[in-house]
């Protein structure tokens, strides 16, 4: 079986570091590969090259927004099965609807609880 890949996309270095720390146990215990990007353009390149099973995607980013990245991935039949979790500081109902409208599978507002992120990751990837 090939290793599951997770892509973390955020333009805020502290969030990238936090997310990586939350998920690093899965690298050892489940052989998960963690990829990172700090803008939407890099995210799309990595998604189309590496085809991660799970993407944590910040909404507000330079170059291409997380919403647009999500839309492009979900509109491509070869990549529709990638599970996308939008991470955002914008917790209004309108923002949530926009995220779901572009195809996001889940919507998590910042600040988030690391334990929830880990639990959700294990659920999506089928890790027990």
Distance (Å) of CA 37 to CA 13, 42, 46, 76: 10, 6, 8, 20
Structure tokens at 52: 């991660």
Q: What is the pTM of this model?
A: 0.94
Contact 52, 74 (CB under 8 A): no
CATH fold group of domain 5-125: Rossmann fold (3.40.50)
Local confidence pLDDT in tens for the 128 residues of the chain: 468 999 999 999 999 999 999 999 899 899 999 999 999 999 999 999 999 999 999 999 999 999 999 999 999 999 999 999 998 887 777 878 888 899 999 999 888 899 999 999 999 999 97
């Amino acid at each position: 079986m090939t290793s599951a890949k997770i892509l973390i996309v955020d333009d805020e270095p502290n969030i990238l570091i936090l997310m990586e720390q939350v998920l690093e146990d899965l690298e050892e215990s489940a052989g998960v590969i963690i990829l990172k990007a700090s803008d939407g353009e890099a995210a799309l390149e990595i998604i189309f090259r590496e085809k991660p099973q799970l993407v944590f995607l910040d909404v507000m980013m330079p170059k291409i927004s997380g919403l647009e990245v999500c839309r492009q991935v979900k509109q491509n039949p070869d990549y529709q099965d990638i599970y996308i979790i939008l991470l955002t500081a914008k917790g209004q109902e309108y923002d949530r609807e926009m995220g779901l409208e572009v195809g996001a599978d889940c919507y998590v507002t910042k600040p988030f609880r690391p334990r929830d992120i880990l639990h959700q990751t294990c659920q999506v990837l089928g890790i027990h």
